[in-house]
Amino acid sequence: MPGLSRRSLRNSALALICFAGAARAGDARLESLAAAYLEKIAGIDGTTIVFRDGTRMPAGTADPDKPFDRLLRDATVLDQFRLAYPRGAPIAPPPRDFDPGRFRDEAFFSKLYGDCRKARLDLEPVTWVGGERLPFARANGAAARLRDVAADIERLPPAVRSAAYPSAGTFSCRPVRDTGRLSMHSYGAAIDLNLRYSNYWLWESHGSASVPYRNAMPREIVDAFERHGFIWGGRWYHYDTMHFEYRPELLPAALARPAPAR
């Protein structure tokens, strides 16, 4: 290129790289969204999510003083990353109000999977442990990853495997009981396992201020889900131990693969 020395070219390239880095500084979390939902998200522009259909969604702000109650009912996309999900940690009572994954921006997930109150979602049957067929979201490889979980659980000893089935349900267009917001079941991206192994904070607390932790879900089943991009409700202070939901952005080592061609 005439007029430009090799050194100035290299410096220009470095400046460009630094500029790109500066523009996205602090937004590695948003990049993990793009990697997890690459079927729907084309990229991140500063703090704006750019979807493949051309629409753009600001990720909002992450106000450190936002109260817990508002995080549950009115989370921004950036709020979703406030608590790091403790993948692979020992099963233990979580600290007070430690609910990683429960802060969700409803508009964001409706964009990823559709709004069940307005339209039919694209669900496909997944053969679950024990042979029952369950509807699950096709988008973002969610159903494909649930199949991977089923295959892993089928290899576990029968006494462990029995906690996984029959399933207490997958898709259900309903709000979460204590937040009024659509649950991940509303997107066909959550599964409840065997009700007999279930503990739910609201049932155990009996109206008291503190919540005693209880869990009967085997560690091997939790591991199988976390390996394939699902988080577990048993890691929440407000626990729901039969509940698993597909949240690959919170498990960077288990990022989504593209959904297989139909």
The residues binding Zn ion (CB under 5 A) are 192, 243
Alpha carbon distance, N-terminus to C-terminus of the chain? 47
Identity of the residue, 94 or 101, whose beta carbon is nearer to Zn ion in the bound complex: 101
Query: What type of residue is 176?
Result: V
Identity of the residue, 41 or 123, whose beta carbon is nearer to Zn ion in the bound complex: 123
Identity of the residue, 44 or 121, whose beta carbon is nearer to Zn ion in the bound complex: 121
Identity of the residue, 102 or 243, whose beta carbon is nearer to Zn ion in the bound complex: 243
Identity of the residue, 238 or 243, whose beta carbon is nearer to Zn ion in the bound complex: 243
The burial class, CB within 10 Å (0-12 / 13-18 / 19+), for 213 is: middle
The Cα 168–Cα 238 span in angstroms is 19
Nearest residue to Zn ion on Cβ basis: 243
Identity of the residue, 41 or 188, whose beta carbon is nearer to Zn ion in the bound complex: 188
The Cα 221–Cα 227 span in angstroms is 10
Question: Least CB distance from residue 185 to Zn ion, whole Å?
Answer: 6
Question: Least CB distance from residue 36 to Zn ion, whole Å?
Answer: 20
CA distances from 57 to 18, 107, 129, 181 (A): 25, 9, 37, 19
In terms of C-beta distances under 8 Å and separation of at least 24 residues, what long-range contacts does 38-47 make, across chains too? 38/256, 38/258, 39/139, 39/140, 39/141, 39/256, 39/258, 39/259, 40/111, 40/112, 40/139, 40/140, 47/78
The Cα 179–Cα 162 span in angstroms is 31
Question: Least CB distance from residue 194 to Zn ion, whole Å?
Answer: 12
Tell me the Cα Rg of the chain. Answer: 20
CA distances from 149 to 95, 146, 154, 218 (A): 28, 5, 9, 14
| Among 90, 94, 128, 100, CA closest to 223 | 90
Question: Least CB distance from residue 225 to Zn ion, whole Å?
Answer: 12
Question: Least CB distance from residue 190 to Zn ion, whole Å?
Answer: 5
Identity of the residue, 139 or 191, whose beta carbon is nearer to Zn ion in the bound complex: 191
Question: Least CB distance from residue 243 to Zn ion, whole Å?
Answer: 3
For 139, what's the count of Cα atoms within 13 Å in the CB-facing half-sphere?
19
Question: Least CB distance from residue 168 to Zn ion, whole Å?
Answer: 8
